[in-house]
Amino acid sequence: MYNTRQITSIVIGSLIFGLFVWFQTTNYDSAVNLRQRLELLAFDLRLSATLPKNIQQDKRIVIIDIDEKSLRYEGRWPWSRAKMADLVEKLFSKGAVVVTFDVMFSEPERNSAKTVLNQLDNSIPGAAITKRVLKSRLSDFDNDAKFAKSLQGKDVVLGYIFHRGKVKPIGLLPKSLDADNLPVIKESTITEMHGYTASLPVLQIAARHAGFFSLDTDPDGIIRRVPLVIKYEDKIYSSLALETARVYQLIDKINVLTDDIAGITNITGIGLSKERIIPTDGEGRVIIPFKGPFNSFPYISATDVIHDKVQDRVLTNAIVLIGTTAEGLFDLRAVPMQSVYPGVEVHANIIAGILDNEFPAEPAWASGANLMVVVVTGLLLVFVLAYLTSPFKKIFFALTIISVVTFFNIWMWTEHGIVLAIALPLLLAFFLSATNLAYGFLTEAESKSQLQDMFGQYIPRELVSEMTDNPKHYGFEGVSREMSVLFADICGFTTISESLTAGKLKDLLNRFFTPMTRVIFESRGTIDKYVGDMIMAFWGAPLVDEDNAANAVEAAFGMLEEVKILKKEFLAEGLPPFEIGIGINTGVMNVGDMGSEYRRAYTVIGDSVNLASRLEGLTRYYDLPLVIGEKTFEQVEHRFICQELDLIIVKGTSRPIKVYNPICRVGEEDKALVNELAQNQEALRFYRTQNWRAANEIFEKLVVVNEKPLYQLYLDRIEWFRKNPPGPQWNGVFERREK
């Protein structure tokens, strides 16, 4: 028999259990959306947990990567079609079996000869002869035709995209699928599209094969499922991955399998043969069978293929996917394992899944099985937890149930490829267990303790004490405000680390970070993170700091003084000497508790933060220990003597900014420094007005007086600009695209 306390526990547990059963079975939109999001999160966790730790690259599929290296050597995208033709020829000459493009060629390339012909002025002597020659040679400059010729007679699959909205069709679609039951398929729930953008007709006719590479995301913006087939104007078309696998395996016809459920024709799978069926949902989508994180397939830079730097054995008998990982080409996607993942590797995973006939699936009976798991889990916990009296026994039983449910779910996934729901059973177990164990609530003192625990690792104890006096005014919620951020790291750290053992390197870093952190804390700064030899800190949060810029520069001065002390100590101990570079920027940025459901951090983000990182990188370029942005300078020029360094555009920005080097505090300067800075300012004025002679004279004098690399840098620039005039519109801006 149960006593009153146990009966109350059963009643409360039954209410929670009933709520979860309703949540599992209801079709109410909000509940369905929440249930879906929970399961998507659980899907990602389960996938990450079950992927092998050591991935063996699948060398059947090779990705030719239009990466940053390729863009640097071959020029910005799109490349000439003549270059693409050369790439195709070299891939097949090295043994590739199928070449698939995860890029589009929907617009014709301009014929350079025709452009010259149209713009040639008849009044120019010899224009008529030139025009006759150009007209006779127009075909030699038709790069689209050259590209098309390189595709003929080869197993090449071009890519295209479908649009949900009605848009004007561009290009030529490939031949649709020739399925046996096409009339039935037309009435099915398969995803239907209303527009497309495809390759040029001359290219599509030459290539013959093509597949769509449209990738839809789940509601949370992550790609987990992709359609293998899509309906357009009552015709069925195959995806890039499906078409590639079909061509590779010499399959002439693909069967689309259907089944009538409640009077509605649903697609159940794609049949490559009687024995090989790819399970799909009713819309023709499959769960992506990820092999692992990024780089589960071999990547080769496209420029290496173009310049014959790839061994033939790497490409022999391989499926080749041509795609991109370059950030500016926008084919980086969010997938369950990581937030930045090349779209081309998504297609590679699907192709591998088709070749291996390995796809996870949600069968039609999955919804009934999901409900049964919830019911059994709930009933066991409601009645057994109420009966048990020891909290340790309650915890043990709850953990046992959770372990059994988790093991069964993962076993079905890994051994049978069956995807069942897991989020609701585990949440139900958690809530029922928590209800039986919980009996208190947080007090105001606990709130203060939590605040101290949260911020104690970021800021000095004095500031935490200020915050705990009024904890309601502080928290991890995101805010946007003007702040200053500092990046500092050890110059040449890689070289230093190679000369030390792991133990000595750890000791060196600890000895470096300790005084740096102390200086930052003394200036009311907040530590953001340590990454390798880098330290990041900011001023202005969680406590507002009206002097955030000055405090950041003061901290930088203190850090440089500490480095001098450390260098002497390290020299005496035989450790390698080192210098640090510090970049500081002030501006509006977002600060708060950011991250994922699994790992979070109190940090700052925004363009102003990125600029500070770039400024730290500029310390190597100017060979100076400290560089600040112009917004920081505007707020500290009354307290620090600063030298203007440059008007520059750094990587990731489009607006030029002035950068400065704080030299000393106001009042600490001497006449020689004042004179040097005045001459520097005068030289910069001449330089930016292209008065090379006057600027050169001043910088030469400065080099003699002070052998700063900065002055020699400008002398080198002036020499270059004399030979390569920048033009009348130039205003002195220097673009530095390196980080």
Listed in sequence order, the residues at least 6 apart from 177 whose beta carbon sits closer than 8 Å to its beta carbon are 229, 235, 236, 237, 238, 254, 256
Query: Is 495 among the domain residues?
Result: yes
Task: Report the pLDDT value the prediction gives residue 439, as an integer from 0 to 100.
Answer: 36
Same domain membership, residue 377 and residue 337: no
Q: Label each residue of 225-288 as H, E or C.
A: EEECEEEECCEEEEEHHHHHHHHHCCCCCCEEEEEEECCEEEEEEEECCCCCEEECCCCCEEEC
pLDDT in tens, 514-541: 999 999 988 989 888 888 889 999 998 8
Task: Report the pLDDT value the prediction gives residue 360, as an integer from 0 to 100.
Answer: 87
Which three-class secondary structure state does DSSP give residue 310?
coil
Instruction: Evaluate the CA torsion angle 617, 623, 625, 626 in order and state its sign.
Output: negative
Closest CA to 172 of 146, 210, 134, 215: 210
In the numeric block, which tokens belong to residue 175?
A: 């031949």
Domain membership of residue 431 as a residue range:
4-50+362-437
- Model confidence at 131, pLDDT cuts 50, 70, 90, reads low
Same domain membership, residue 390 and residue 279: no
Is there a contact between 158 and 199 (Cβ–Cβ < 8 Å)?
yes
> What are the C-alpha distances in Å from 654 to residues 598, 649, 651?
35, 6, 8
pLDDT in tens, 22-64: 888 888 888 888 888 888 888 888 888 888 877 788 899 999 9
Same domain membership, residue 88 and residue 24: no
pLDDT at 441 over 50: no
Q: Which has the minimum average pLDDT: 251-260, 366-375, 692-701, 726-735?
A: 251-260
Is there a contact between 348 and 297 (Cβ–Cβ < 8 Å)?
yes
Amino acid identity of 246? R
Helix axes 671-688, 692-705, angle to 10 degrees: 150
Residue 167 CA, distance from chain mean position? 30
Same domain membership, residue 431 and residue 378: yes
pLDDT at 716 over 90: yes
Query: Is 281 among the domain residues?
Result: yes
Closest CA to 281 of 254, 253, 257: 257
Percentage of residues of the chain with pLDDT beyond 70: 86
Using the 8-state DSSP alphabet, how is residue 154 labeled?
S
Is there a contact between 139 and 145 (Cβ–Cβ < 8 Å)?
yes
Closest CA to 269 of 354, 365, 160, 175: 354
pLDDT at 643 over 90: yes
> What are the C-alpha distances in Å from 576 to residues 493, 531, 620, 638?
10, 20, 19, 37
Residue-averaged pLDDT of the chain = 84
β partners of residue 104: none
Same domain membership, residue 141 and residue 223: yes
CATH number of the domain to which 543 belongs: 3.30.70.1230
Last residue within a domain, chosen from 312, 336, 356:
356
Q: How far apart are CA 283 and CA 295, in angstroms?
A: 29
Query: Is 427 among the domain residues?
Result: yes
Q: How far apart are CA 500 and CA 670, in angstroms?
A: 41
Listed in sequence order, the residues at least 6 apart from 417 whose beta carbon sits closer than 8 Å to its beta carbon are 358, 359, 360, 361
Query: Is 372 among the domain residues?
Result: yes
pLDDT at 440 over 50: no
Same domain membership, residue 376 and residue 334: no
Same domain membership, residue 12 and residue 121: no
- Model confidence at 116, pLDDT cuts 50, 70, 90, reads low
Task: Report the pLDDT value the prediction gives residue 414, as an integer from 0 to 100.
Answer: 83
User: What is the CB-side half-sphere exposure of residue 198 using CA atoms within 13 A?
Assistant: 26
Same domain membership, residue 131 and residue 101: yes
- Model confidence at 70, pLDDT cuts 50, 70, 90, reads very high
Q: How far apart are CA 132 and CA 142, in angstroms?
A: 17
Same domain membership, residue 103 and residue 213: yes
Is there a contact between 546 and 519 (Cβ–Cβ < 8 Å)?
no
Using the 8-state DSSP alphabet, how is residue 714 labeled?
H
pTM over 0.75: no
Q: How far apart are CA 528 and CA 543, in angstroms?
A: 14
Number of domains in the chain: 3
Helix or strand (DSSP H, E) at 405: helix 391-416
Query: Is 240 among the domain residues?
Result: yes
- Give buried/exposed letters for 428-467 (b at 16+ CB in 10 A, else e): bbebbbebbeeeeeeeeeeebeebeebbeebbbeebbeeb
Task: Report the pLDDT value the prediction gives residue 444, as an integer from 0 to 100.
Answer: 42
Query: Is 432 among the domain residues?
Result: yes
pLDDT at 138 over 80: no
Last residue within a domain, chosen from 414, 437, 460:
437
Last residue within a domain, chosen from 422, 437, 452:
437
Is there a contact between 206 and 166 (Cβ–Cβ < 8 Å)?
no
Same domain membership, residue 514 and residue 591: yes
Residue 341 CA, distance from chain mean position? 7
Q: How far apart are CA 621 and CA 218, in angstroms?
A: 44
Query: Is 691 among the domain residues?
Result: no
Q: Label each residue of 62-117 as H, E or C.
A: EEEECCHHHHHHHCCCCCCHHHHHHHHHHHHHCCCCEEEECCCCCCCCCCHHHHHH
Query: Is 700 among the domain residues?
Result: no
Arithmetic mean of pLDDT, 171-186: 73
Same domain membership, residue 376 and residue 328: no
Arithmetic mean of pLDDT, 479-502: 86
β partners of residue 593: 602
In the numeric block, which tokens belong to residue 27?
A: 């079709």
Report which of residues 341 and 450 the model is more confident about: 341
Beta carbons within 10 angstroms of residue 165's beta carbon = 7
Same domain membership, residue 366 and residue 221: no
